[in-house]
Amino acid sequence: MILYILRRLVSVAVTFIVVSLIIFFMMHAIPGGPFDANDMPVSEAVRAKLMAQLGLDQPLHVQYFRYMWGVLHFDFGVPYQSPGETVVQLLSRAWVPSLVLGGLGVVIGAPLGILLGMAAALNCNSWIDYLASTLATLGLTIPVFVSSMLLILVFAVWLQWLPASGWGKPERWILPITAYALIPLATYARYTRSAMLDTLNRPFVTVLRAKGLSERRIVFEHVLRNSAIPLVTVFLPMFIGTATGSIFVEAMFRVPGLGAYFVSSIENRDYPLEMALMLMITFMYCIAYLLSDIVYALINPRIRVGGGQ
C-alpha cells in the first residue's frame, strides 16, 4: 500500500510538471499581453519598460524556469491585477469565502442528495421516485444563475426574508449556499439512485433477504456500502469544484471569492495568478484522485491493491 502511494506521488509530480509546461506555454501563446489594450495604446518605450520590470522581456524558457524555481520555494510571484500583495496572500484571502460557500454547499447538498436518491431507489417507479428524479433533473438542467435569480426574487425581493446578495454576515450566506447546494444535491440524487438500483438487483441482496435480514440492515450495511464507489468517485472532485464551480453563484450573490479570479486572470493576462490557479487545481485533482483510490481500497476489499490474491 505504501509503495503504491509512493508510486502515485511520483506520478503526481510528473503530471504536475507536464501540466505546468502546457499551461505556461499555452498562456503565452495567446496573442497579446498585459499591456496591449485596444483603445488606449501604451507607447512602445513605456511598454518595454513595464515588460522589463515584470521580467516579461526574457525568453520564455527563462521565464518558465524562474517561475517554477519560485514555485518550489512557495513563491508564486505578485499578481499583476493586485500589486500590493503576493499571489499566495491573494489566494489565501479569496479562497475563504469560496470554501465556505462551496464546502457548506457540498456538505449540505450531498447528504440530502444521497437521501433523495435512496428514497427514489427504494421506492422505484413510485411517485416518490418520479418526484425525486424530476427534482434532480431540474437541479442539473436549470443553470445555476437562473436558480440563483429565482431564489433572490422569491426570498429577497418578494418575501424580503433574506438579503439579496453580499457576504459577511451569516444571514447573507443562506441564499448562495442554497443555490450552490442544488448542484451536489441533484448530482448525488442521480448517482445514488442508479448505483443503489444496480446493487439492489444483485443476487447477494436476494441471499441476504432470504437469510432474513431486516430491510434496514440490508440497505444501510450492505447496499449502501456496495453502492458507494461511484459516490466516492464524484465526491472529492466535487469538492475541488468549490474553487472553480462557484463562479456564477459568487457573481450573482456578490461573494468576494476566488471564482472571478479565474476569469480576470485570463482576461488581464495576469500570468503569475493564472499559473498559480491552474497549478493549484492540478495539484488538488491529483491529490483528490489519490485519496479516492485509497478510499476505494478501504471500502471495497476487492480492489485493495496488493492485498487478496
Partner 1 sequence: MHILPKIVGALAVATALTLPASAQSTILAPGQSTTGTYMDYMKTVYDRATFAELLQVPIATFDKEFELTPMAAESWSQSEDGLTWTFKLRPGLVWSDGEPLTAEDYVFALQRAATSGYDFAWYWDFAGGIKGWKEVTEGTADVSTLGLKAVDDLTIEVTTVAPKPYLPSVTSLWYPVPKHKVDELGDDWAVNVDSIVSSGPFSIESWEKSNNSVVFTKSETYTGPWQAQIDRLEVDPSLGAPEVGLPAYLAGDADYSFLNTGQVPVAMAADPDGIRKNAVFATSYLSYDLESEPFNDVNVRRAFYYAIDREELTSTVLKDIAIPAGSILPPGYPGYNPDVVAQATFDPEKAKQFLADAGFPNGEGFPEIEIWIRDEGGYNGAIVPAMAQYLQAEFKDVLGVTVNIRQLPGADWMDGLRNKTNNIFIAPYEYDYLDPSNFYGIFYNGGRHGYFVPEYDALVAEADSESDWDTRYNLYAEAEQVMIDQGLIVPLVHPITTAVISDNLGGDAAKPNSLGFTPLDRLGHYFFTHLTKQ
- Among 140, 166, 240, 300, the residue binding partner 1 under the rule CB under 8 A is 166
- How many positions of this chain bind partner 1 (CB under 8 A)? 45
Q: Does 272 engage in binding with partner 1 (CB under 8 A)?
A: no
With contacts defined by CB under 8 A, name the span among 15-23, 125-133, 151-159, 232-240 that binds partner 1.
151-159
Judge whether 140 and 186 are in contact, CB under 8 Å.
Answer: yes
With contacts defined by CB under 8 A, name the span among 59-67, 112-120, 148-156, 217-225 that binds partner 1.
148-156
With contacts defined by CB under 8 A, name the span among 1-9, 36-44, 61-69, 227-235 that binds partner 1.
36-44
Judge whether 280 and 243 are in contact, CB under 8 Å.
Answer: yes
Q: Does 170 engage in binding with partner 1 (CB under 8 A)?
A: no
Grid coordinates belonging to 270: 495576469
Nearer to partner 1, 84 or 308 (CB): 84
- Among 83, 203, 212, 308, the residue binding partner 1 under the rule CB under 8 A is 83
- Residue 110: which residues within 8 A CB-CB, separation 6 or more? 184, 185, 188, 235, 238
- The Cα–Cα gap between 262 and 34 comes to 16
Q: Does 165 engage in binding with partner 1 (CB under 8 A)?
A: yes
- The Cα–Cα gap between 96 and 291 comes to 23
Judge whether 122 and 265 are in contact, CB under 8 Å.
Answer: no
- The Cα–Cα gap between 91 and 69 comes to 19
DSSP structural state of residue 168: S
Q: To 5 degrees, how large is the angle CA 254–CA 76–CA 288?
A: 70
**How near is the Cβ of 216 to partner 1 at its closest, in Å?**
45
Nearer to partner 1, 38 or 125 (CB): 38
Binding site for partner 1 (CB under 8 A): 31-32, 35, 37-46, 48-50, 80-85, 90, 93-94, 97, 145, 149, 152-153, 156-157, 160, 163-166, 251-252, 254, 256-257, 260, 264, 268
